[in-house]
Chains A and B, each alone.
Chain A
Amino acid sequence: AQSVTQLGSHVSVSEGALVLLRCNYSSSVPPYLFWYVQYPNQGLQLLLKYTTGATLVKGINGFEAEFKKSETSFHLTKPSAHMSDAAEYFCAVSPSNDYKLSFGAGTTVTVRA
Chain B
Amino acid sequence: ETGVTQTPRHLVMGMTNKKSLKCEQHLGHNAMYWYKQSAKKPLELMFVYSLEERVENNSVPSRFSPECPNSSHLFLHLHTLQPEDSALYLCASSQEVSENSPLHFGNGTRLTVT
In the complex, are the beta carbons of A102 and B42 less than 8 A apart?
Answer: yes
Q: Give residues 27-61 of A contacting B (CB, 8 Å).
A: 32, 34, 36, 41-46, 49, 51
Listed residue (B41, B90, B97, B107) with the most chain A CB atoms within 10 angstroms of its CB: B107
Q: Which of B12-20, B59-67, B76-84, B98-106 contacts A (4 or more CB under 8 A)?
A: B98-106
In the complex, are the beta carbons of B105 and A43 less than 8 A apart?
Answer: yes
Distance to closest chain A CB from B110 (angstroms): 9
Distance to closest chain B CB from A54 (angstroms): 16
Distance to closest chain A CB from B37 (angstroms): 9
Chain A residues whose CB sits within 8 angstroms of the CB of B99 once the complex forms: 32, 94-99
What is the total number of residues of chain B having a CB less than 8 Å from a CB of chain A? 23
In the complex, are the beta carbons of A103 and B40 less than 8 A apart?
Answer: no
Chain A residues whose CB sits within 8 angstroms of the CB of B104 once the complex forms: 46
- Size bin of chain A's contact surface: 20 to 34
From B56, which residue of chain A is reached at the shortest CB distance?
A100
Contact of B107 among A4, A41, A49 (CB under 8 A): A41
Distance to closest chain A CB from B80 (angstroms): 27
Instruction: Give 4 closest A-B pairs by Cβ, nearest first.
Output: A43-B105, A103-B43, A103-B42, A44-B105
14 contacts between A and B (CB under 8 A): A32-B100, A41-B107, A43-B6, A43-B90, A43-B106, A44-B90, A44-B103, A45-B105, A98-B99, A99-B97, A102-B42, A103-B43, A106-B40, A106-B42
